[in-house]
């Protein structure tokens, strides 16, 4: 049975779910490492970079969650 219009093909959706899952794992490592670095009391010049990294990684987590929700709705 062919996919309805606007649906992601099943094989592609499966591959995208796998990639989104792997991305989640990598992002979790970045989020945790950034947290641990921030707790170590880095110098001011490093603290700003840690904050930027944290903000960017949190945004990436949100984007990945939206992607995963989209993929779930396509299944």
Integer distance in angstroms from the first to the last C-alpha of the chain? 14
Mean pLDDT over residues 13-38, rounded? 96
d(CA 18, CA 23): 9
d(CA 27, CA 60): 8
User: Model pTM greater than 0.75?
Assistant: yes
CB 68 within 8 A of CB 35: no
Residue pLDDT, tens place only, 43-68: 999 999 999 999 999 999 999 999 99
């Amino acid at each position: 049975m062919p996919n309805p219009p606007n649906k992601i093909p099943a094989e592609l959706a499966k591959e995208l779910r796998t990639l989104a899952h792997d991305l989640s794992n990598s992002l979790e490592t970045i989020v945790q490492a950034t947290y641990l670095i921030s707790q170590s009391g880095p110098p001011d010049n490093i603290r700003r970079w840690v904050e930027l990294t944290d903000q960017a990684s949190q945004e990436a987590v949100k984007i990945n969650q939206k992607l995963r929700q989209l993929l779930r709705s396509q299944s």
